[in-house]
Amino acid sequence: MFKATITVLLMAGSAFALDAGLWEKNKVTVSSHLPDGQILRKGMGFLFDETTVVCSYTDVKGAAQLRVQWDGHERTTNRVISYSEEMDLIVIGTEEELPLAITLGSSSMLAIGDPVLFWQTKDGAVELLETTVEDVIDTGKGYDVLRIQIDPEPRSPSPLYNSSGKVVGWLQGKRAIPIETIAMMLQNKEIPVLISDLNNAEGSWKLKKLRGESQETSFRVSELQTLRGSSIFPFRIDLPEHWKHQQYKFSGRLLLRSEGRLSGILVEVRAEDPVSDDLIAAIERTETLIFTDLARSEMIPYSADHLTGFRARYEDSDPEQPHSLVAFYTMSAGKFYVVSVWFPASLADQARALIDQILSSFRL
């Protein structure tokens, strides 16, 4: 539980010699609540813009409702715009606009040795601590990750500020995710989902992110066999017969998962009763709930066996084991279907024909 007190630990002549009252005014806390109103957890966050707030995914996981508080203001919401378990951050939305004070900066302007600031909880009180940038790490994905000089490692995530008091990233342990990366997460995310939907998407329903057991740069494709859905969600699809196939049934949903373990190729067919008959809205909802941590690089109209919809490509953010995902989205007879193929980036050229064959074989 947080206390109302705050300690500002700034050295005389420090680059952070800003008005302590300003820091108190812009200290944002986010509390997660159970259905009965009981507080589940509480943590720090920051205002990304007039309608969105960034905070810790761990702090809000499993909640029914979220409450944002700062400088005498309060907003209650259950709307999720985007989230990342790997980065331990979530972007939540509010229907009412938020009065902003501290603005966003740019992490690209930071260099090794530059001073930065972050919040830390100690003995129930929130402290504002000063440190420096230790290293700038190129992820190979078009953005950098900042390593911050901190000992011991912080226990809780926090906004990261530059010497002008602007938010430049999200601090998790000794690494900070740049504000530019968070902005990338919000691309193509215009339709929020309920936090209860996020909780329901846990477990087997989420993308498995299969990693290949073999280091080979090629794969073997055997004869294909036809796999089927159910009477409620009827479909057929042709997949390699030597792969491991498994079907999961949920209330109002069905998942067929087929794993090529040696190659690291994973095919999943998801079928569910849609929330609405808007295909674009259903796609955005799936991107938020299922294809977490993936960035969409392409989406085009696509047809398969008289089914029309969209084909999209996504890139994984892991620089050490880069993977891609191709998905086909369609609606038919009041059902929403997603066929996705997850594969190592190193097999992109070899897997192209197999992916096309799998997607084109999907029929009802």
Q: What is the CATH number of the domain that holds 162?
A: 2.40.10.120
pLDDT in tens, the chain (364 residues): 333 333 444 443 444 555 666 677 778 999 999 999 999 999 999 999 888 999 999 999 889 999 999 888 889 999 999 888 888 999 999 888 888 766 888 888 888 999 999 998 777 778 888 899 998 887 666 567 888 988 777 778 999 999 888 899 999 888 999 998 888 878 777 778 888 888 777 678 888 888 766 555 555 666 899 999 999 999 999 999 989 999 999 888 999 999 988 888 999 999 999 988 999 999 999 998 898 878 888 999 999 888 999 999 998 866 677 899 999 999 999 999 999 999 998 888 888 999 999 999 999 9
pLDDT at 206: 86
Burial class (CB in 10 A: 0-12, 13-18, 19+), 286: buried
Residues 306, 309, 314, CA angle at the centre, nearest 5°?
135
* pTM for the structure as a whole: 0.78
Same domain, 175 and 84: yes
pLDDT at 103: 80
Same domain, 118 and 55: yes
* Residue 66 CB partners (closer than 8 Å, separation 6+): 30, 31, 32, 33, 60, 76, 77, 78, 92, 195
Same domain, 189 and 282: no
Same domain, 215 and 106: no
Q: What is the tally of structural domains in the chain?
A: 2
pLDDT at 1: 33
For residue 123, give both structure tokens: 């003995």
Same domain, 177 and 284: no
- Which of the listed residues 155, 180, 196 is the one where a domain comes to its end? 196
Same domain, 153 and 206: no
Same domain, 161 and 33: yes
Same domain, 235 and 167: no
For residue 328, give both structure tokens: 């086909």
- Which of the listed residues 135, 169, 196 is the one where a domain comes to its end? 196
Q: Tally helices (H) and strands (E) across the chain.
A: 6, 24
Domain coverage including residue 48: 1-196
270: domain CATH number is 3.40.1000.10
pLDDT at 347: 87
State the amino acid at position 143 in one-letter form. Y
Same domain, 42 and 171: yes
Same domain, 175 and 228: no
Same domain, 153 and 267: no
pLDDT at 8: 42
Same domain, 132 and 46: yes
Q: DSSP per residue over 27-95, as a string?
A: -EEEEEE-TTS-EEEEEEEEE-SSSEEEE-HHHHTT-SEEEEEETTEEEEE-EEEEEETTTTEEEEE-S
Residue carrying structure tokens 């992820």: 139
- Which of the listed residues 159, 176, 196 is the one where a domain comes to its end? 196
pLDDT at 159: 93
Dihedral class, residue 242 (left if φ above 0, else alpha if ψ from -120 to 50, else beta):
alpha
